[in-house]
Structure 1
């Protein structure tokens, strides 16, 4: 199927699933850009139009739920490494059903801030409050070299009240949504950087945590998987979760609810 035929079929499938108007045009236009940039076969990049339309229908073009209670509140977060200040009085509030983007130049403290919110790094001053459970996807690390994907699913799932069978089933399904089929017996140390990030992202969402902290989780993703990642973020938002994404890619800022800019002229806008 050529690009035009695939895009026409996608538009038809979106309409059939109740996504129309500007929302459908935006999805089709974005898919067209990815296909043009990749130069690949649409079936390889995105899969069959019905399956792709089904994956996005729950996250686009439908009325959004109103943001609810505060699930993450960071106030006055300050951190120094030696004499070098990294964060100074940073505030962020994210409610149920909201996505927050954390942006800024390299070295401005984005990963440090997220690690503090996750409870992995201590702040010099300030306080973080999290209501409910938390999932964290780091930019680097986060996996055990000598465990395969299924063993990761079982380990993390057990800590979140999931049975072995449920953890493997859900983990495999989430991996498939990112165009990845985990191989049993293949240790994490043998995975590519992009595949490790897929594993980290799947682990962050196991057990349906209330708050998700995602530190540039799409590193190494191809265009199609990058789009799948954002659709997953919007599905989490629709499910009432609070999602914080550290990103350098500013073309998605119109798709989030709050932007926290970490820089000498730090500011938060809603």
Structure 2
């Protein structure tokens, strides 16, 4: 098992920002005589600068497992992961602290990103305006609706201008207007060279994605130009 910072490489003129090679992951049973479950059995994936990538697959296929490994929050059993540049991660379940206000949440995550106070305030105002939650900056997280929680969850993944943005169904709970605004933001980020990688479950989104990878039978298949028969819905409980 190995994770490294990748040297700058180009594929077709675009930098390779994330690469996973021969990734393997097996979940063991918590029961003494239970069966282990192999999820990834040699998965390969590359992500390039300036592209919007979708990861699809059946429930339990390993989509979230793959993303967590690429982000670096989950260890893999075998294979290598290479990353070049900074990473922002927006998990399906918001990793926010209920007792903090939205402004305090920005200060907490900004400090973790080693941002200055001025940089934090500028990012907070920009994202609150773009995603329309400026009126909730002084609210505690536990006072927010599900949709506004998700806006903050997405914002703290974006606030440090990452080179790679990893998103696990980032628009859960968004209204239609915010959903469309999200896709405008994703396209703007890609135009500026950011790689946007998301677990996607809506067939209608295929036209918005530059490349589509399907996680199937422990491997990652490039199905950009294919029609998949998978149920393109993520496990609502997180799954794998």
After TM superposition, the score normalised by the length of structure 2 is 0.80
1:76 maps to what in 2? 22
Matched position secondary structure for 2:206: helix
Structure 2 CA distance for partners of 1:249 and 1:154, relative to 1, 3 Å:
same
What is the Cα deviation at residue 182 of structure 1?
4.7
1:162 maps to what in 2? 115
- Residue 148 (structure 2) aligned to one of 190, 195, 203: 195
What is the Cα deviation at residue 183 of structure 1?
2.3
Q: Aligned partners of 1:128 and 1:159: how far apart in 2?
A: 23
> Deviation per CA, 1:11-65, whole angstroms, max 9, x where unpaired?
xxxxxxxxxxxxxxxxxxxxxxxxxxxxxxxxxxxxxxxxxxxxxxxxxxxxxxx
- Residue 86 (structure 2) aligned to one of 112, 115, 133: 133
If you compute each CA radius of gyration, which structure gives the higher value, 1 or 2?
Answer: 1
Matched, 1:269 2:211: no
Greater strand fraction, Structure 1 or Structure 2: 2
Matched, 1:215 2:168: yes
1:44 maps to what in 2? none
What is the Cα deviation at residue 141 of structure 1?
2.9
> Deviation per CA, 1:219-256, whole angstroms, max 9, x where unpaired?
00011111111111111100101111111112111222
Q: Aligned partners of 2:43 and 2:135: how far apart in 1?
A: 39
Within-5 A mapping of 1:40-119: 68-82=14-28, 83-119=36-72
1:142 maps to what in 2? 95
Unaligned runs of 5+ in 1: 1-65
Q: Aligned partners of 2:135 and 2:68: how far apart in 1?
A: 27
Q: Aligned partners of 1:190 and 1:127: how far apart in 2?
A: 41
What is the Cα deviation at residue 156 of structure 1?
1.6
Q: Aligned partners of 2:45 and 2:91: how far apart in 1?
A: 19
In the alignment, is the contact (CA less than 8 A) between 1:67 and 1:96 conserved in 2? Answer: no
Q: Aligned partners of 1:141 and 1:101: how far apart in 2?
A: 20
Tell me the number of residue pairs that the alignment of Structure 1 and Structure 2 aligns: 205
Task: Considering Cα pairs closer than 8 Å and 6+ residues apart, tell me whether 1 or 2 has the greater RCO.
Answer: 2
After TM superposition, the score normalised by the length of structure 1 is 0.72
Q: Aligned partners of 2:163 and 2:203: how far apart in 1?
A: 25
The worse-fitting range, judged by mean Cα deviation, of 104-113 and 232-241 is 104-113
Greater helix fraction, Structure 1 or Structure 2: 1
What is the Cα deviation at residue 266 of structure 1?
4.7
2:186 maps to what in 1? 233
